[in-house]
Amino acid sequence: MEELIHLVLVFVAILIAFTVVMTMFAYTTLTERRVLGFIQGRLGPNRVGPQGLLQPVADLIKLVCKEDIIPDKSTRFVYFLAPVIVTTTALMSVIVYPFGPEIHLPIIGTIQLVIARFDVALLYVLGVTSVGVYGIALAGWSSNNKYSLMGGLRSSAQMISYELALGLALIGVILQSGTLDLYRIVEQQSGHLGVTGWNVIWVQPLGFLIYLIAAIAETNRVPFDLPEAETELVAGFHTEYSAMKFGLFFVAEYLNMFTVSMLATTLFLGGWNGPFVHQLPWLGVFYFLGKVILFLLLYIWLRGTLPRFRFDQLMALGWKYLMPAAIFNIVLTATLQWLPVFDYVSKFLKTSAGFWG
Amino acid sequence: MMSLLFILFAGMAVGCAISMVAQRNPLYSAISLIGVFISLACLYVTLAAPFIAAVQVIVYAGAIMVLVVFVIMLLNVEAEERPMRLRSLIPIAVGLAAILFAEAIFIIFFVQASPSTPTDNISNVGLTSSIGAGLFTSYLLPFEITSVLLLMAIVGAMSLARRGGLVPPGAGIVPGDQVFSKELLDRRDIGDLSAVATHSTAEAARLLGVTRETETSNED
């Protein structure tokens, strides 16, 4: 019976998380177009609703009603499977992120605001992003179009190269926290005022930087978006996809952005930690979502500002600079943990009995 | 609940394995193999080994099979037709399959299973911390030997991938520069150069002797 209640709770939590994530996705597309417009000295779309707030609805209706063109000689099963793989793996990682601390609900009792809490949560996220590479490679190949194939192969080569730097950058956090469980990593980051314990401040600044660069490359965003640049390969691996299948790729790209932003928030920016979060637990959800939105604004800012890398520069950055830097970060973290001064300061910053935390 | 999950994941694994063998298109076989690996990872989770499950997905399904899929795509391996000339081997195949089936029946019904308790989730053998503690203390030597083995594989792959011997010592392969090998330039009789690094298309054209006298430049 208790198992049944737990199962129902998990389903309700998945529904809520899915709704929140998809709404955030819809308004991130609008935010991106408006903010890019402001960076480029123009207004974005502001006609459809008040300040353009109904623009995502209009986009959705357009995408659903468009004609679905399927290339004749494409491999049908794989052509249909590729957007499914990408979207599914993008959505699967949301279940391990802790959205807030323990809250007390009237009938159900005390629950932790995380959908699934298990021992190897961080490895699960890495595994799911590894499987997401298949969608892109298969999409490029199954379109029966040599530009799509080149775009797909380049994109998946870029993703598997930067997965390496991403994983190595996370090892510093694992060394510091001693656990792979994301909930406990967030719990360990509560310090004074809920701010000083964050892993980016004293403990892992270099790891955060490496992770950020690797994450932007992993999600195929500017400045690393050569595989889907319009002047290079038409639209890369999703050239031959129209209507809702393109919509699924679009969704998957933004959901990947959400995944890496949520992971960065959880591991480096303290997750749901913030001022007064232990007195008012619901504030934790707002802090978490606020930090994720900060990362999304950073992504949009970078898109409006930076030119893109050439592909060989991109691969050289991933293999020749980021990976050695990540390995150096691991050695540095392990060495500094052994020094008593460093340990004392980090214990002072990360005390879980901090004031106003 | 556990037996239901076991039936689900084992059924998925067996179904994907049969699909992998029976498909004619090699890419579908590769995708079925990925399905087998993911089903096995789920089975490992039900056996209280979450670390092995995650590493199975990351390494096997996420890295090794990506390379297999790349090879199939790049080499454009076609779907194979059933070759007619192997018809005579079908009775032998049926006979071997019957022997295998008989062995499976024998093991299921006649081999005494050890009286073990069902896997309880409080055992900490499969947790990451236990694996890490064992790997770096009592199993350190196999760990180091495995890393040397992987290094050998990488060095072997690199040395096999070099085409036609090593790159000549004076050659610079930098984007924007072009490198011409000796075989290409020999017929222009410019001497014994193992490589010539040029810095612009005009210089390369001049070296190869293909400039026109009346070429007009575009920037005025």
The helix/strand/coil state of B195 is strand
Q: How many angstroms separate the CA atoms of A170 and A263, rounded?
A: 10
pLDDT of A20-37, one tens digit each?
999 999 999 999 999 999
Q: How many angstroms separate the CA atoms of A185 and A271, rounded?
A: 9
DSSP state of A52: G
Q: How many angstroms separate the CA atoms of B212 and B220, rounded?
A: 19
Span(s) in chain B for CATH 1.20.120.1200:
1-78
Q: What integer pLDDT is reported at residue A141 of this predicted model?
A: 87
- Chains A, B: CB contacts within 8 A come to 70
B1-78 maps to CATH 1.20.120.1200? yes
Contacts of A120 in chain B (CB under 8 A): 50-51, 53-54, 128
Torsion-angle region of A193 (φ positive above 0: left; ψ -120 to 50: alpha; else: beta): left
- The answer to whether residue A131 neighbours chain B at the CB level (below 8 Å) is yes
Q: What integer pLDDT is reported at residue A19 of this predicted model?
A: 94
pLDDT of A186-204, one tens digit each?
988 888 887 888 888 888 8
Q: What integer pLDDT is reported at residue B218 of this predicted model?
A: 44
Q: How many angstroms separate the CA atoms of B159 and A171, rounded?
A: 31
What is the token pair recorded at B104?
A: 């499976």
B61 and A130 within 8 Å at the Cβ level: the answer is yes
* pLDDT reading at A88 higher than 60: yes
Q: What integer pLDDT is reported at residue A257 of this predicted model?
A: 93
**Residue A108: CB partners within 8 Å, gap ≥ 6?**
A5, A9
- Contact present, A65 and A86 (Cβ < 8 Å): no
For the question of an ipTM over 0.90, the answer is no
Q: What is the pTM of this model?
A: 0.83
- Contact present, A212 and A299 (Cβ < 8 Å): no
Closest CA to A258 of A16, A28, A85: A28
Contacts of B53 in chain A (CB under 8 A): 120
Q: How many angstroms separate the CA atoms of B40 and B60, rounded?
A: 11
Name the residue among B27, B50, B62 with its Cβ closest to that of A130.
B62
Question: Cα–Cα distances in Å, from A79 out to A133, A135, A188, A238, A353?
Answer: 15, 9, 44, 10, 54
A126 and B54 within 8 Å at the Cβ level: the answer is yes
DSSP A255-267: HHHHHHHHHHHHH
At B173, the pLDDT band (50, 70, 90 cuts) reads: very low
pLDDT of A233-268, one tens digit each?
566 787 888 888 889 998 999 999 999 999 999 999
Residue recorded with tokens 């984007």: B175
* pLDDT reading at A152 higher than 50: yes
Q: How many angstroms separate the CA atoms of B142 and B18, rounded?
A: 35
What is the token pair recorded at B85?
A: 């000339």
Chain-centroid distance, C-alpha B124? 32
A180 and B128 within 8 Å at the Cβ level: the answer is yes
Cα-based torsion angle of the residue sequence A175, A176, A179, A181 in order, rounded to the nearest 10 degrees? -120
| Peptide bond connecting B83 to the previous residue in cis, omega within 30 degrees of 0 | no
Q: Give residue B145's identity as a one-letter amino acid code.
A: I
Task: Tell me the angle at which helices A121-142 and A76-92 cross, rounded to the nearest 10 degrees.
Answer: 160
**Residue B190: CB partners within 8 Å, gap ≥ 6?**
B207
Backbone angles phi, psi at A203, to 5 degrees: -95, -45
A332-343: b (≥16 Cβ within 10 Å) or e: ebeebeeeeeee
User: Which one of B122, B128, B154, B173 makes the best mutation probe of the A interface by having the most chain A beta carbons within 10 Å?
Assistant: B128
The helix/strand/coil state of A11 is helix
At B36, the pLDDT band (50, 70, 90 cuts) reads: very high
Interface of B with A (CB under 8 A): 1, 25, 27-28, 31, 34, 38, 41, 50-51, 53-55, 57-58, 61-63, 65-66, 69-70, 73-74, 127-128, 175
Torsion-angle region of A271 (φ positive above 0: left; ψ -120 to 50: alpha; else: beta): left
